[in-house]
Structure 1
């Protein structure tokens, strides 16, 4: 009882210390927000280039609005959809990569490979063409000897000048196109030959696990700087060896951290009999058995020792992957930020962005109520500018258009006056001073113009207006204003239904503790 009581006291002390280190800053609808989360978002957004910095008070309001929108998305079940969960998990896997390797070791190993490439004449890239015959793993010895004899015959003909290399590629090769290679990209047997050749040189026949080859080097490129090829070297090492050095080093560290211990009896039985039901090892107090190993082995048809090594590595990395949020606060913050950002986008899209463009009635009503906000400082000309081949055509077009709605003018000109021959060039719209020289001269009485070639007669139809007569004339500006209006109304609704509590004393300690 004394021990149990002491444990409870220690736990309470730990919780109190933790709360002091990262206290609750606010509570939104009963959900706590710690100071660290607010600080992370506040500092990150205020550090963004080109973004207006906000005071602490201003940002508190923005943060609460943000959290209320996220809560609305959660209430709508947007965080439970399959698409959402898959995208979030995909981001987590990508983010986790840098946490599941020892970056220093990985870079050191990549640097060693890079230096070795340069020292061994394997730097850069080589473009090759080859006479290639594919050989499956089940090839008989007789078929192998036949291919070998054929390749020797071709090579002899090439050496004596009795055959052209390109012609042999087209006639005999299973691979017709040339291609670029760099180190760690092709089988070692292939690279050993190719990187020793200079442009124009042809190799002797040789074999790789893929088949038989005669290779000609066409050209070479120098290696790029290390920083530009480091990631690719690591990727190719991983593909060739199953694990990069940085990951191997991390696994060894994690084994010590999680007190990895093997069970020799189970391990020995597995290695001798290829299977066991016994315990193989313990990781952070959890036992892993031969039954748990079996599905991994079935999916990886390697030798038993390699299967066992792979299973151990995967187990260690999977366990570490499951604990990233607990071990690394910055990882947890990034995941929370991405998750909330996805939800914010989805709920905003549904409530505002998708709705506005098709809400013609709403746009019209908003415009009618705020028409004076869209008046211009100077009048504009609303109408059409007509350039015609003759003066008579100009009069006819003008008279004809007066009987039609404005939205039909351009189509009427196309069908009535330009159906057979082009007699009219027209430009319809809303013109401010400086938009059209002919409008400037005739309507605003400023500037000079020259007649248009082939359409020397110009006439106008329209009127001066002080402001837009329809919301469609200012749609681009109106859509943004209407979105802001809807968002403000939406936030007011969320605020009215929410319970928001802010600890002002903790707020004073933001970035000051």
Structure 2
């Protein structure tokens, strides 16, 4: 039931007033405005006014409420998807993107000006060496690689290198390398080689290599690699400079105050029970640090820096929705859309796709909607090796049901080593089949098939489908709309909907 209220609610005086109540739940003007402004560009002019959009929005919220009533919002998969979406969004709020982008730009310029520009495609002869490799095994690996290298120097052709990769390498696929993607030891070698050049044997933390550069690729634009460079830089150096810059700003905002006594005791002894620092009025102690340090193996200085950084960012994370309404809207809307889509899948789409009786009944009731603008030909096109065979096939099929035509052709005329008939059966609109156009719709003459030069047709012109399955795709879509309208009507009838018209007038105008 929809109730349009002209009176002012008490909350109208608030900065973000209640615009409507749906089933007893308040909807603030900000939520409605977010959805309206997002969808407005795609609305038809007649539906673009807030008053018109309100109907559509109410239907959406009723479906979300139905999903919540069904417990879909408590499902683990749903919660994980929403949290994953939020995690991707908050990265931009927890880092100083200007600082991060400047660092990426410096890195890009350094790559472009040096020999590490672009990418290299390489193939290598690689032997994995574990960290605890024995001296004897290491000497054997070095001797083997030296022997391979000497052989390749005497046989510098590509076939010899490829053969050694196939026979001796633990990694047999060629691959591309960009800066900050592989260990420094590997990059130092491969970026120093020209296309076609081979390295001497060298070590990386993974093992021992002989590399050949197959191709050098040009440097892509900064915009196309900016995000990747920022991620690689953070991975290589263990921290994002943009995040560091953001933490310094947040420290001032939340009144970060280190406790020198506690910090000195931790640095000198490796442990303390004292307060290490205060953030937003809360003390963080050596006990808090110890729990973090147990999962972060490093020196005490690095552990403390990382603990402070994580504490500041974690606190900011709890306040993001309060500080940034746009984030709150994005996450809420993402979850609502997931819920509405899931409940619609259960209530409408699955049923429409499998309810054969319902589809047939809907088709019979709305048969006139599926009449074609111009007749179509329902039948079979028979291409025979001779005129006599084509005529025989046509006469033979006349006595059989349409559903048996193709099997009859296969068993009667095409059972031997040499097929006698090539058949095309179906529903043909003008333009679908040249032979139907020629013989049925009296269009342009069709050229005969080389192997089956004699053509006959059997069937009839029809104005509309005889069976709902002939228009199934369109019918399923129409049936979905029909079921959705029925379902929405039931939801509207079971929930009280109130809209404050005075607040509605202020949408995008306050």
Scaled by the length of structure 1, what TM-score is found?
Answer: 0.84
Could you tell me how far apart the structure 2 residues matched to 1:187 and 1:386 are?
67
Give the distance between the partners of 2:155 and 2:445, measured in 1 at CA.
77
SS of corresponding position for 2:294: helix
- What is the alpha-carbon distance in structure 1 between the residues aligned to residue 498 and residue 308 of structure 2? 48
| Counterpart contact for 2:270–2:300, Cα < 8 Å | yes
What SS does the corresponding residue of 2:116 show, helix, strand or coil? coil
Q: Deviations over 1:162-204 (max 9, x none)?
A: 7869769758876666654333334445545554555566767
SS in 2 for 1:281: strand
Pairing 1:339–2:330 present: no
- Report matched runs for 1:401-420 at 5 Å: 401-420=397-416
Task: Indicate the SS of the match to 1:288.
Answer: strand
Counterpart Cα distance in 1 of 2:439 and 2:300:
91
Q: Which residue of 2 aligns with 1:271?
A: 267
Residue 262 of structure 1 corresponds to 258
The reply to whether residue 355 of structure 1 matches residue 354 of structure 2 is no
Structure 2 unmatched ranges of 5 or more: 1-9
Question: In 1, distance between residues paired with 2:170 and 2:387?
Answer: 74
Q: In the alignment, is residue 241 of structure 1 matched against residue 241 of structure 2?
A: no
Alpha-carbon contact 2:149-2:210 (below 8 Å) kept: no
* Residue of 17, 31, 45 corresponding to 1:37: 31
SS state at 1:355 partner: helix
Moved more, 189-198 or 326-335: 189-198
Tell me the alpha carbon deviations over residues 345-366 of structure 1, each in whole angstroms, 9 at most, x when there is no partner: 1111111111112111001101
The aligned runs of 1:82-161 (5 Å cut-off) are 82-127=76-121, 136-138=130-132
Q: Is 1:461 paired with 2:458?
A: yes
What is the distance in 1 between the residues matched to 2:120 and 2:172? 17
Residue 67 of structure 2 is aligned to residue 73 of structure 1: yes
Task: Indicate whether 1:286 and 2:317 are aligned.
Answer: no
CA contact (8 A) 2:377 2:427 kept: yes
Partners of 2:11 and 2:18 within 8 A in 1: no
Distance across 1 between alignment mates of 2:119 and 2:98:
26
The answer to which of 231-240 and 356-365 deviates more is: 231-240
Offset of 1:495 from its aligned partner? 0.8
SS at 2:379 equivalent: strand
5+ residue gaps, structure 1, are 1-15
> Following TM superposition, by how much is the alpha carbon of 1:302 offset from its aligned partner in structure 2, in angstroms?
1.3
Query: More displaced, 209-218 or 413-422?
Result: 209-218
Q: C-alpha offsets along residues 38-88 of structure 1, whole Å, 9 cap, x if unaligned?
A: 111111112359999633232111111111111111111111111111111
**Cα distance in 2, alignment partners of residues 194 and 444 from structure 1:** 68
Are the counterparts in 1 of residues 124 and 209 from structure 2 also a CA contact under 8 Å? yes
**Aligned equivalents of 1:202, 1:456: Cα separation in 2:** 62
Rate the CA distance shift 1:238–1:423 in 2: closer, same or farther, 3 A: same
The alpha-carbon distance between structure 1 residues 126 and 417, as it changes in their structure 2 partners (threshold 3 A), is closer
How far is 1:234 from its partner?
1.2
Q: Please, which moves more after superposition, 355-364 or 445-454?
A: 445-454
Secondary structure of 1:282's partner? strand
Q: What is the rounded CA distance, in whole Å, between the counterparts of 1:191 and 1:439 in structure 2?
A: 65
Residues 1:403 and 1:280: Cα distance change in structure 2 (over 3 Å): farther
**Alignment partners' CA distance in 1, 2:379 and 2:199:** 77
Instruction: Output the CA distance in 2 between the equivalents of 1:77 and 1:402.
Output: 58
What secondary structure is seen at the aligned counterpart in 2 of 1:123? coil
CA 1:251–1:403: 2 relative to 1, 3 Å = same
What does 1:113-512 align with in structure 2 at a 5 Å threshold? 113-127=107-121, 136-138=130-132, 179-192=175-188, 195-196=191-192, 198=194, 209-210=205-206, 220-420=216-416, 421-445=418-442, 447-449=444-446, 451-512=448-509
216-225 or 18-27, which deviates more = 216-225
Aligned with 2:18 (options 6, 19, 24): 24
Coordinate RMSD, CA, aligned: 3.6
| Aligned equivalents of 1:175, 1:378: Cα separation in 2 | 63
Quote the Cα distance in structure 2 between the aligned partners of 1:208 and 1:474: 63
Deviations 1:256-307 (A, max 9, x none): 2122222333323332332334333222233333333333322222112212
> Judging changes above 3 Å, is the alpha-carbon distance between structure 1 residues 139 and 486 closer, same or farther for their aligned structure 2 residues?
closer
Partner Cα separation in structure 2 for residue 453 and residue 134 of structure 1? 62
Sort the Cα spacing of 1:18 and 1:181 in 2 relative to 1 into closer, same or farther, 3 A: farther
Aligned length: 496
- The answer (yes or no) to whether the contact 1:147–1:212 under 8 Å persists in 2 is no
Deviation at 1:117, TM superposition (A): 3.0
Aligned partners of 1:97, 1:365: CA distance in 2, in Å?
Answer: 52
Higher relative contact order (CA 8 A, sep 6+): 2
